């Protein structure tokens, strides 16, 4: 089992691959036998696992897909499929980390992290509280947190890449965030956890 905050070293073995294929085969068999008894409004398990709904749609919960949320606790199991019968792929170990929900099945949510990895998380381990990672795609340097939503205003703090902040407000171009007691504005394109042009207030 792997634990992670942001970075993760991928480890794949032939044994794990064989187990994964066996699980997929079992799920597919179960779906074929139970598909006709699915309740109204529920997703097809196999479809939900591999095909997120297009942008602009809503999931069975009635909430938009995709959408950003954050982790509610310091330990969140990410599974290969939407049930506790599925193997844990890795464990998030950072409360408040933003993730993107891209599909829903019953009480499970398929999430994508800032590195593009995907897996299933139980809904109660997620919260609608909006957070964002500061430029996780950059490996060095720091970004300025400004007192106003423009680059001519005073610098409140310099933020290391990969820092997580609470999102307070977004204009579509700039976002106000709080990080370790500092409050200020940063260009929206420098954050992972909010969409380009998204407005939050």
Q: Does residue 126 contact residue 69 with C-beta atoms inside 8 Å?
A: yes
User: Structure pTM?
Assistant: 0.74
Is residue 95 helix, strand or coil?
coil
Domains along the sequence of the chain with CATH: 12-129 (2.30.30.40), 133-192 (2.30.30.40)
Tell me which H or E stretch contains 121.
strand 118-122
CA distance 24 to 129: 33
123-178: pLDDT as tens digits: 999 999 999 999 999 988 899 999 999 999 999 999 999 999 999 999 999 999 99
What is the pLDDT of the chain when averaged over all its residues?
81
């Amino acid at each position: 089992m792997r634990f992670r905050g942001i970075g993760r070293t991928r480890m794949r073995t032939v044994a794990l691959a064989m187990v994964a294929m066996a699980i997929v085969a079992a799920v597919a068999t179960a779906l074929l036998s139970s598909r006709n008894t699915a309740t109204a409004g529920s997703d097809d398990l196999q479809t939900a696992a591999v095909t997120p709904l297009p942008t602009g749609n809503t999931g069975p919960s009635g909430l938009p897909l995709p959408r950003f949320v954050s982790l509610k606790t310091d330990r969140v199991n990410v599974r290969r499929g939407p049930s506790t019968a599925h193997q844990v792929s890795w464990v998030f170990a950072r409360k408040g980390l933003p993730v993107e929900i891209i599909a829903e099945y019953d009480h499970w949510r398929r999430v994508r992290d800032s590195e593009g990895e995907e897996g299933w998380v139980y809904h109660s381990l997620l919260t609608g509280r909006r957070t964002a990672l500061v430029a996780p795609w950059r490996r060095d340097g720091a970004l300025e947190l400004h007192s106003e939503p423009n680059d001519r205003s005073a610098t409140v703090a310099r933020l290391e890449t990969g820092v997580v902040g609470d999102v307070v407000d977004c204009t579509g171009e700039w976002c106000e965030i709080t990080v370790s007691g500092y409050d200020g504005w940063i260009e929206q394109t420098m954050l992972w956890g909010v969409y380009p042009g998204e407005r939050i207030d």
